Amino acid sequence: MSDPAAESTGLHRLAVANLTIHHGQLRAVDDVSFSVGASEVLAIIGANGAGKSTLLRTIAGLHTQTSGSITFEGEEISGLRTFRRVRRGISLVPEGRRLFPSLTLEENIQVGAQKAAAGFFTIDAAYELFPWMHERRRQRVGQLSGGEQQAIAIARALVANPKVLMIDEVSLGLAPIVIERIYEFLPTIVAQGIGVLLVEQDVSQALAVATRVHCLLEGKTSLVGAPSELSPGAIEAAYFGTTHSPSTPEESP
């Protein structure tokens, strides 16, 4: 999947190669490889326990891989601590959002803006992206809804001006209308050249927004492709580990 032209122009931003990650004896991620280019949206799908969060947390530097490489703009970053990876341009919206409930909306976003790279996403730009936030900027986030908190977590990651934004469980626990509103931010950030790596429980949502989908099954890659190339049967088989019979007539034994 290495594209020398993209590599030299820096478009090929994040790449993981043969990444294997353990939790103790458990091989949670097994020999996984992919890359994310500028303005690309790669969706990681897979059942509970497939290794999605482990993968994102390891790319962010919150966990260490057993083997394999993580390169960013062509440079190995495996040895770097989390804050250095953030400075390079990798931001993670973690599973469960991890906001500070007793701080205000604006204070939470300011946390992301500390030591941020200069760029398009100032706090004001975040308010433009999510206009309701400006009116509620002095409210404590503990009082806000799950969907609002998810949007704030995304805004907090954006004001660090990442080149690759990773979001774990974009829509978990949110109502469809709220999910739709959350995803409204995506075209704006893709237009800025940001590459997006997202984990999405809702497979049809993942297929609707992603340029590529990468399915994990018990830590292993079970399917990769552009949404238009993937049949529902193949996705189901890759997701659940069942056998997929192509839609051809039954063959005699």
Supply the minimum distance, in Å, between the C-beta of residue 54 and ligand ATP: 3
In the list 49, 96, 142, 146, the residue contacting ligand ATP (rule: CB under 6 A) is 49
Q: Is 54 in the site for Mg ion (CB under 5 A)?
A: no
Supply the minimum distance, in Å, between the C-beta of residue 101 and ligand ATP: 21
Residues 6+ apart with CB under 8 A from 194: 38, 39, 162, 163, 164, 165
| CA 58 from centroid of its chain's CA atoms | 12
The residue type of 244 is H
Q: Is 53 in the site for ligand ATP (CB under 6 A)?
A: yes
Question: Are 57 and 92 contacting, i.e. CB atoms less than 8 angstroms apart?
Answer: yes
Q: Which spans in 114-217 are helix H? A: 123-129, 132-135, 146-158, 176-183, 186-191, 203-209
Q: Which is nearer to Mg ion, 84 or 98 (CB)?
A: 98
Give residues 71-100 in contact with Mg ion (rule: CB under 5 A). Answer: 95
Q: Which spans in 21-118 are helix H? A: 52-60, 82-88, 105-113
H-run or E-run covering 111: helix 105-113
Q: Is 53 in the site for Mg ion (CB under 5 A)?
A: yes
Alpha-carbon span 122 to 186, nearest angstrom: 16
What mask, x for binding ligand ATP by CB under 6 A, covers residues 161 to 190? ------------------------------
Supply the minimum distance, in Å, between the C-beta of residue 160 and Mg ion: 22
Query: Which residues are registered as beta bridge partners of 92?
Result: 166
In the list 2, 4, 5, 48, the residue contacting ligand ATP (rule: CB under 6 A) is 48
Q: Is 28 in the site for ligand ATP (CB under 6 A)?
A: yes
**Placement of tokens 């790279």 in the chain:** 117
Q: Which is nearer to ligand ATP, 25 or 102 (CB)?
A: 25
HSE-up of residue 71 (Cα within 13 Å, Cβ side): 19
Q: Which is nearer to ligand ATP, 46 or 147 (CB)?
A: 46
Question: Are 69 and 38 contacting, i.e. CB atoms less than 8 angstroms apart?
Answer: no
Q: Is 149 in the site for ligand ATP (CB under 6 A)?
A: no
In the list 37, 51, 162, 195, the residue contacting ligand ATP (rule: CB under 6 A) is 51
54 binds, among Mg ion, ligand ATP, none (CB under 5 to 8 A by kind): ligand ATP
Site residues (vs ligand ATP, CB under 6 A): 23, 26, 28, 46, 48-54, 95
